[in-house]
Structure 1
Amino acid sequence: MARYLPSLATACYRQNAYTRNCVIGITSRAFTSTPPSSSSGENNNNNNDVSSSLSTSKAPKSTLSTILQSEHLDSATRAIGQVIFLNDTNSGRVVLASLALGDPTLAACAALGSITSTSTSKFIGLDKQAWRGGLWGYNGALIGCAVSVFGPSSLPFIVLSTMVGAAATPVVSASLKSAVSMPQWTWSFNFVALTSLLRSRPLLNTASSSAESAVAIATPGFQDIALSPLTGISQIFVVNSHLTGAGIVAATYMYSPKLAWHAVGGSLTGCLVGIMSGADLADITNGLWGYNSALASMAVGTFFVHSRNTMILSATSAAASASLFGAMQAVFGIYGAPCLTLPFCTVASACYLLEGHIPGLKLAKEPHSPEKNG
């Protein structure tokens, strides 16, 4: 009977261009900002020195405005990479370009969500170092992705929903920061998104049409199965495209080659768990069993010092995330909503608390990547 319950997989995949589920990134690398140096040299036959000194109150203001605009854009772009633990502006740009390759509208919503949450955090005066690192913006980017797929069809309402939801995420994150002593993963995103999705129950609207079209869907071939780990990585941003997944892997490799292997290995492990669990092949080939696993594996690689036991934990967390996804998918399907990245958040939190209980597992003092964590 559970086979006929609406689920994230059946409802999304069989409803034309609807793509899938999401998830989280957070690193705590420090950022510094060096203000432009000002010279106070002597007058070198420059007749403008007098007028320059008389307008000191105006020139610095213009320069400061330019710097702030640049920092703001840097933070918003960095936030898109922070979804997958990439604390780098260039990697963030590649990720955004990869999203546009698979779904231009979703990429625009992700950018809008990132900018909105980044702007909100600055306006209300949240921690500036975290702001520079994009840590207040990545949940907002995911809100944009979710709204693009599960939200209203009208463009004005998509924009409004993205901005309202994204603006709420840094407030929730600030509250969680005071309540928990571990990375916040994507709890904020899940809280804000599911508050809306459980009320609107978007998957129930497509359950009947997906059941009617099930016969017309071709059985996934070997190529689809082989590419499913890449599709799973794209599903972190709710995109169903192995090309987008490949672009995201490339962005990760630019930042950390070993972290890229964590992403691919985690997604592959999740797909294998799905196959062994007898899951629908359509769910597997569309990446639904891979995205939470990829995130969990990357979280272990980012926050733990690299070791043999860390690699074992990485694989174990990927398998556990996939198993938990299978269970949550069935439960949330009853209510017509996706489980988003709740499996990842749950498993990543459990892994983080293992330090001191298993020999060889040590949290990095300044989490960055497997290479820099040692």
Structure 2
Amino acid sequence: MPSAEARQHQRSKAPQPLAYLLASVRGVGQVDLQPGAWTGAVILLGLWAAGWETGLFATLGTLISTATAYALGVDRSGIALGLQGYCGCLTGIALVSSLGHHPATYVLAVIGAIMCTLLMAALTTLLAPYGLTALTAPFCLVSGVMVLGAPSFGRIWHGDPAPVSSTTSGDTALSWDDLWHGFFTNVSQVFLVDDWYVGLIMLVGLALAGVRVVLFAVAGSAVGIFAAWALGAPAELIANGIYGYNAVLVAIAVGAVLLAGTVWNAVYALFGAAATTGLTASLTSLFKPFGGHTFTWPFILTTWVLMAAVPLLPRFRPSD
């Protein structure tokens, strides 16, 4: 085992450009908990297909978060897997989609990406005794605070675009167009994008991560649609993926990453996917009075609860 001095020397070395770029690409895939470079590359392609602003800010956020981790001497193995870039990726997208494309948004994206790396370290320390990981909580905290405070500053807030509400009333009858559109946008809305073709591209990327991963993504999307329909959610919001993206994340995280591949674990993961659909509406109602945003909080809270319960539930076995 290398000495403490050797490890410190390794951390202080400047990263090789190729290693840095690969870590950043993997960071995009880690939004869906996948470290594969090809998966990250295809998902990033989907983000650029959604629009150059989305692709640019996703890239910027990932690069800055990853570079910050290198600069602060974070463990290289975690950086290489993309674990320091994914919250910066989401933060960049959240800021440009909420605040619009303005010079101030670039500044906030850089600051937000740096803060994501700091919060990742803090939350990892706090959650380690409980066997839990930070997931996308740094993104939710940083983006939530920035977007909530933006209207108070004239150089930041420009009054557009309007935030999407998930409490809109409307017809609950699902058409075929609603179903297939929602199936794919459930995947793209993980990245705050409601274009169905982007979700299709991302599913291709998830398929490159393995059959089990893409099957749970597909199952999570289907469960999210069914649960939202059963609860009487408006068809328009189901079609736009508002109620299903957290279900996709829970299904992938619990079913394909954190727990072993058993029938009991699969049922547990899909139960969590259904539960998080209802939680999405509850948290949206909670945040709405003060202008807060739900983001991926339903996924985070559901996954934390499910995984915290595992040590006392012998039927469910963590992955090796």
Given the two structures, how large is their TM-score scaled by the length of structure 1?
A: 0.74
**Secondary structure, aligned partner of 1:167:** helix
Query: Which residue number in structure 2 is paired with residue 194 of structure 1?
Result: 144
Give CA-to-partner distance per residue, 1:167-189, whole Å, 9 cap, x none.
11011111111111212111111
**Secondary structure, aligned partner of 1:125:** coil
Distance 2:309 2:32 in 1: 22
Query: How far did residue 295 of structure 1 move?
Result: 0.3
Match of 2:318 among 360, 363, 368: 363
CA distance 1:342–1:209, shift in 2 (3 Å) = closer
CA distance 1:280–1:296, shift in 2 (3 Å) = same
Asked if 1:225 is matched to 2:179, the reply is yes
Match of 2:116 among 162, 169, 173: 169
Match of 1:327 among 274, 282, 289: 282
CA distance 1:206–1:244, shift in 2 (3 Å) = closer
Query: How far did residue 331 of structure 1 move?
Result: 1.7
Aligned residue identity for 1:346: L
Query: How far did residue 83 of structure 1 move?
Result: 0.6
Give CA-to-partner distance per residue, 1:159-215, whole Å, 9 cap, x none.
11111101110111111111112121111111111111222368x9777999xxx99
Identity over aligned residues, as a percent? 23
Query: How far did residue 220 of structure 1 move?
Result: 7.3
Query: Which residue number in structure 1 is paired with residue 79 of structure 2?
Result: 131
Asked if 1:109 is matched to 2:109, the reply is no
Distance 2:163 2:66 in 1: 39
Query: Which residue number in structure 2 is paired with residue 267 of structure 1?
Result: 221
Match of 2:268 among 283, 300, 313: 313
After superposition, residues 75-86 of structure 1 pair within 5 angstroms as: 75-86=23-34
Structure (1 or 2) with the larger CA radius of gyration: 1
Task: Decide which structure has greater helix share.
Answer: 2
Match of 1:89 among 10, 32, 37: 37
Query: Which residue number in structure 1 is paired with residue 253 of structure 2?
Result: 299
Query: How far did residue 360 of structure 1 move?
Result: 2.5
**Residues 102, 239 of structure 1: 8 Å contact kept:** yes
Give CA-to-partner distance per residue, 1:126-146, whole Å, 9 cap, x none.
111111111011100000110
Query: Which residue number in structure 2 is paired with residue 340 of structure 1?
Result: 295
The two structures, once aligned, show a CA RMSD in angstroms of 2.5
Give CA-to-partner distance per residue, 1:284-335, whole Å, 9 cap, x none.
1100011111001111121101101111111101011101001111121222
Distance 1:245 1:267 in 2: 11
Asked if 1:185 is matched to 2:140, the reply is no
Distance 1:188 1:208 in 2: 21
Distance 1:271 1:222 in 2: 12
Aligned residue identity for 2:263: R
Asked if 1:237 is matched to 2:184, the reply is no
Query: Which residue number in structure 1 is paired with residue 239 of structure 2?
Result: 285
Unaligned runs of 5+ in 1: 1-63, 366-374
Distance 2:89 2:288 in 1: 24
Aligned residue identity for 1:243: Y
Aligned residue identity for 1:286: N
CA distance 1:312–1:74, shift in 2 (3 Å) = same
Aligned residue identity for 1:109: F
Asked if 1:148 is matched to 2:96, the reply is yes
Give CA-to-partner distance per residue, 1:235-275, whole Å, 9 cap, x none.
00011111111111111111111111111111221121111
Unaligned runs of 5+ in 2: 1-12, 152-156
Given the two structures, how large is their TM-score scaled by the length of structure 2?
A: 0.86
Query: Which residue number in structure 1 is paired with residue 107 of structure 2?
Result: 160
Distance 2:311 2:287 in 1: 34
**Residues 48, 54 of structure 2: 8 Å contact kept:** yes
Query: Which residue number in structure 2 is paired with residue 41 of structure 1?
Result: none
Query: Which residue number in structure 1 is paired with residue 10 of structure 2?
Result: none
